[in-house]
Chains A and B, each alone.
Chain A
Amino acid sequence: MAITERTSWLEPRPGGLYCIPGDFYIDPSRAADRAVITHGHADHARPGNNHVLATHETVAIAEARYGSAAGRSFQRVKYGEVTHMNDVSIRLVSAGHVLGSAQVVLEHQGQRIVVSGDYKRSRDPTCAPFEVVTCDIFITEATFGLPVFRHPVAADEVARLLASVAATPDRCHLVGVYALGKAQRVIALLREAGYSDTIYLHGALQKLCSLYQRLGVDLGDLAPVAGLPKQALTGRIIMCPPSSLADRWSQRMPSPVTAVASGWMRVRARARQRGAELPLIISDHADWDELTATIRDVQAGEIWVTHGREDALVHYAQSLGLEARALSLVGREDEDDQDAEVAAAPEVAGADD
Chain B
Amino acid sequence: MQAFGELLDRLSTAPGRNVRLDLIAAYLQAAPDPDRGYALAALAGDLSLRTAKPAMIRELAATRADPDLFRMSYDYVGDLAETVALLWPAEFRVNATPRLSEIIHAMESARRVEVPDLVAAWLDRLDATGRWALLKLITGGLRVGVSGRLARTALTRLGDVGLAEVEEVWHAVEAPYAPLFDWLEGRAEKPSLTDALTFRPLMLAHPLEVSDQERLDLSDYRAEWKWDGIRVQLVLRCGQARLFSRTGDDISRAFPDLLSDLTGDAVLDGELLVMRPDGIGTFNDLQQRLNRKTVTAKLQTEQPVGLRLYDILIDGDRDCRDLAFDDRRQVLENWAARHPSPRIDLSPRVPLSGWEEMQQARMDPPHPAIEGLMLKRGDSTYHAGRPRGLWFKWKRDPHRVDCVMMYAQRGHGKRSSLYSDFTFGAWRDGELVPVGKAYFGFTDAELKELDRFVRTNTVERYGPVRAVNQTLVLEVAFDGINRSRRHKSGVAMRFPRIARIRWDKPANEADDLETLERLIPGSFGDG
Contact = CB atoms under 8 A, between A and B. Distances in A.
A350 interface: yes
Interface residues of A, number: 45
A269 B436 CA distance: 25
B232 to A, nearest CB: 19
Interface stretch (B80-88, B223-231, B244-252): B80-88
A273 B410 CA distance: 10
B20 to A, nearest CB: 11
B258 to A, nearest CB: 24
Contacts of B487: 349-350
A150 B496 contact: no
Given A350-B437, A352-B492, A276 B79 contact: no
Contacts of B14: 277
Given A148-B87, A275-B464, A311-B72, A349 B417 contact: no
Contacts of B83: 148
> Dominant SS at the B interface?
mixed
Interface stretch (B63-71, B184-192, B379-387, B502-510): B63-71
B434 A349 contact: yes
B78 interface: yes
Interface in A233-278: 245-248, 250-251, 255, 258, 266-269, 271-273, 275-278
Given A147-B87, A278-B13, A316-B69, A351 B461 contact: no
A353 B489 CA distance: 16
B69 A312 contact: yes
Contacts of B465: 345-346, 348
B414 A146 contact: no
Given A148-B76, A251-B418, A266-B86, A246 B410 contact: yes
A351 B462 contact: no
B65 A349 contact: no
B365 interface: no
B512 to A, nearest CB: 16
Contact of B462 (A276, A279, A346): A346
Interface string B450-463: 01000100000111
B476 to A, nearest CB: 10
A148 B86 contact: yes
B128 A275 contact: no
Nearest to A248: B417
Contacts of A246: 410, 416-417
A30 interface: no
Nearest to A276: B13
B416 A341 contact: no
A258 B128 CA distance: 22
Given A148-B77, A250-B417, A269-B79, A353 B13 contact: no
A148 B417 contact: no
Interface centre among B77, B78, B83, B489 (most CB of A within 10 A): B77
Max chain B CB contacts within 10 Å: which of A149, A268, A269, A316?
A268
A351 B72 contact: no
Contacts, number: 131
A146 B83 CA distance: 11
Given A268-B79, A319-B66, A349 B416 contact: no
Nearest to B12: A268
Interface in A116-162: 146-150, 152
A279 B9 CA distance: 10
B292 interface: no
B461 A279 contact: no
Contacts of B349: none
A146 B72 contact: yes
Choose among A246, A255, A277 the residue with the greatest number of B CB atoms under 10 Å from its CB: A277
A119 B384 CA distance: 61
A347 interface: yes
B465 to A, nearest CB: 5
A269 to B, nearest CB: 6
A65 interface: no
Given A345-B465, A351-B437, A351-B495, A312 B72 contact: yes
A342 interface: yes
Given A246-B416, A268-B79, A345-B465, A147 B128 contact: no
A309 B72 CA distance: 9
Contacts of A258: 15, 416
B418 A351 contact: no
A3 interface: no
Give the residue among B19, B86, B494 with the most A Cβ atoms within 10 A.
B86
B255 interface: no
A344 interface: yes
Given A146-B76, A150-B90, A350 B436 contact: yes
A332 interface: no
A-B complex: 9 closest residue pairs judged by Cβ atoms: A350-B437, A349-B434, A148-B86, A349-B487, A275-B416, A345-B465, A148-B73, A250-B417, A343-B462
Interface of A: 146-150, 152, 245-248, 250-251, 255, 258, 266-269, 271-273, 275-279, 309, 311-312, 315-316, 319, 341-353
Given A248-B455, A269-B79, 8 more contacts: A148-B73, A251-B417, A267-B86, A269-B78, A273-B463, A312-B73, A345-B409, A349-B433
Interface of B: 12-15, 19, 65-66, 68-69, 72-73, 76-79, 82-83, 86-87, 90, 128, 407, 409-410, 412, 414, 416-418, 423, 425, 433-438, 451, 455, 461-465, 467, 487-489, 492-496
